[in-house]
Chains A and B, each alone.
Chain A
Amino acid sequence: MLQKQTRHVTMRERREWLLFALLLGPNLFLFGLFTYWPLLYNFYLSFVSWNFLRPRKRFVWFENYAEVFSQPQFWTIVWNTAIFALFSVGLTLLIGLALALLLNQPLRYRNGARAVLFSPVIMSGAVVAVVWSYIFDPRYGLIDQLLGLIGLSSPNWLGDPAWAMPAVIMVYVWKNLGYAVVIYLAGLQGIPRELYDAARVDGAAPWDRFWHVTLPGLSPVAFFLSVTSILATFQAFDIIKVLTNGGPVIATTTLIFHLYDLGFVSYNAGEAGVIAIVLFAIMLILTIIQLRYLEQRVAYS
């Protein structure tokens, strides 16, 4: 009797296992083929010398690594990536915080303002960059008009190596600001009302309440935003490709752009593989930092 029952359960369980495999299989198979396999394949590629339009491959051990790391332009590109990430994320987080605090006030039309702020987020980066390349036109563009109002003339934004990166950062911040605002607003709404009431009872001035209740309450959200935003800047391709094509010279070439360039302009699979691994390593470290932090937060709460 008992044995019969266990066998019955196993049969049912087996059927569940089968269904589980059928439901999850396609997703996992695609991840295997188009996510995990490419990661491993990149490691292999980084050890071969191969123009992938031709059949001939040669195993070269660490030659690609030596080649990539010894080029001074590689370090310029790393620097560009860091500057782009730092300024884009810093500006987005600061301006985003100010705007979220503003839109958290009981003002009429604030939902409309939030929609306007968010709309660039859902626009195609390629089209945004096309539009801005007209805005940056040093003679007929919008920015030149605005600078003209205060008696300045526009620099040659996209043609001058000194101004191209600020231009890219400006477009990137314009496009992604709304995302930060929405996340901050969700964070602000998550701060318990009682904390403000308690602070008020204790006689805390508005500034003190901001400093001791709002900011600490927002810190988890700000941390989440900063990590995900940095990761996003490492993946920013469309704006750079369309706005500056990595130039002038290599003034706006970042690691992801370099990877594309090595892969699909030079067809150099080996060096592209090295860049892919460098990029993956940096992003993995950032993700692990984030997970550690989340774990801690869960442990403390």
Chain B
Amino acid sequence: MALSEEITLTPTLETSWRTPRLWRFAGYLAMLATVIVIGLPVYWTVSAAFKTTGEIYRLPVTWFPAEPTLANFPQAWNAAPFERYYLNSFLTTLGGMAAEVTLAIMSAYALAFLRFPRKQLVFLLLLAALMIPVEITIVPNYLTVARLGWINTYAGIIIPGAAIAYGTFLLRQAFLSLPYEVIEAARVDGAGHLRIMFNVVMPMAQPAIVTMALLSMVAKWNDFLWPLIVTNTTNMRTLPIGIFWLRNSEGLINWGVIMAGSLFLIIPVLIVFLMVQRYIVDGIAAGAVKG
């Protein structure tokens, strides 16, 4: 594929060796420019996190920290209860993800392999939920959660967002594309539905489940609107809410500390992303092109 592309670029004799090289050079240059434009803000954050306050507010601004310092990190850590934010973010992310994955697997299995009168109608009911964005439900859901006494609780953060339509849809597709003979063989061997779900379907559909879980994890970790609404004590804030309040209180005073605090949140996601990049990117692309 790569080779044929080059060959087609050499129709005339005199440019036969020059054009592709020039093109390639331009291509690399454009790629480099893109990476710089996208990467520069992140670099700026990192470099500010290592600058002293004096240096940040000195003109002309420096591109590299002149006197690199680590002081911003402990200062950020102490400016807000970050250990509590981490705990809250970990618990709500893991809880939310576990709930979504479990519900999606259960629902997808039922929709893919079980008989039920008017099954299509049930499926539509689930799909239609995709058309109702979370954002328009905030006031009624706040009232419901308040009535349940769930304000400032993990349940209040996790449960209203636990139902899952898109993931169910993706997993149902994945389950339906599994080789039917294997499932049939397990059934002939006398395995019940729950055993087939745990021992046959789930292992075979593992890539789809992992992708779904990762997408759900990223979404929960970054969620902002709902945790902002449903928490009002410092101790129940998740990391994004915590950073937001840190910026509001620390504000235009100490950018180095704020940038260090931002890295507390970005670094874990970036590490996870670089490790499992393929799952996330391919999963998103597959969902779009099929859907």
Binding site for B on A (CB under 8 A): 13, 16-17, 19-21, 23-24, 26-28, 30-31, 33-39, 41-42, 45, 52, 99, 102-103, 105-107, 109-110, 112-120, 122-127, 130-135, 137, 139-140, 142, 144-145, 148, 174, 177-179, 182-183, 185-187, 190, 193, 200, 206, 221, 224-225, 228, 231, 234-235, 237-238, 241-242, 256, 259-260, 263-264, 269, 272-273, 276-277, 279-280, 283-284, 287
Contacts and interface: CB of A to CB of B under 8 A. Distances in A.
A113 B284 contact: no
Contacts of B114: 16-17, 19-20, 23
A3 B56 CA distance: 86
A190 B290 CA distance: 11
Contact of A120 (B38, B133, B280): B38
Contacts of A19: 110, 114, 193
Nearest to B240: A126
A162 to B, nearest CB: 21
A12 to B, nearest CB: 9
Given A28-B125, A30-B163, A131-B259, A35 B35 contact: no
Contacts of B9: 206
Interface in B68-110: 103-104, 106-107, 109-110
A21 B125 CA distance: 14
Contacts of B160: 30, 34
9 contacts: A34-B160, A42-B136, A105-B5, A117-B35, A119-B38, A127-B265, A130-B244, A263-B142, A276-B136
Given A28-B122, A116-B38, A276 B44 contact: no
B44 A122 contact: no
B21 interface: no
Contact of A126 (B30, B122, B244): B244
A284 B131 contact: yes
Interface of B: 1-2, 5-6, 8-9, 24, 27-28, 30-31, 34-35, 38-42, 44-45, 48, 56-57, 59-61, 103-104, 106-107, 109-111, 114-117, 119, 122, 125-126, 129, 131-144, 159-165, 168, 193, 218, 221-222, 224-225, 228-229, 239-241, 243-244, 247, 252, 255, 258-259, 262, 265-266, 269-270, 273-274, 277, 280-281, 284-286, 288-289, 291
A130 B115 contact: no
B285 to A, nearest CB: 4
B41 to A, nearest CB: 6
A140 B274 CA distance: 31
A113 B244 contact: no
Contacts of B266: 123-124, 127
A77 to B, nearest CB: 15
B225 A238 contact: yes
Contacts of A186: 285-286, 288-289
Contacts of B125: 28, 31
Contacts, number: 281
Nearest to A267: B139
A21 B1 CA distance: 49
A52 B129 contact: no
A13 B159 contact: no
Given A130-B243, A276-B136, A23 B285 contact: no
B289 A20 contact: no
Given A23-B109, A124-B269, A102 B136 contact: no
Given A24-B111, A106-B2, A130-B244, A34 B44 contact: no
Contact of B110 (A23, A120, A284): A23
A115 B135 contact: no
A144 B44 CA distance: 13
A35 B132 contact: yes
Given A130-B262, A221-B289, A283-B131, A179 B284 contact: yes
B285 A42 contact: no
A142 B59 contact: no
Contacts of B48: 134
A244 B13 CA distance: 58
B180 to A, nearest CB: 17
B139 A276 contact: yes
A130 B244 CA distance: 7
A149 to B, nearest CB: 11
B260 to A, nearest CB: 12
Contacts of A117: 34-35, 38
Contacts of A20: 110, 114-116, 119
Contact of A17 (B116, B138, B281): B116
B240 A124 contact: yes
B34 A102 contact: yes
Given A122-B269, A284-B131, 7 more contacts: A115-B274, A116-B35, A116-B38, A125-B222, A125-B224, A186-B285, A260-B138
Nearest to B131: A287
Contacts of A190: 289
A110 B31 contact: yes
B262 to A, nearest CB: 5
Nearest to A225: B288
B139 to A, nearest CB: 4
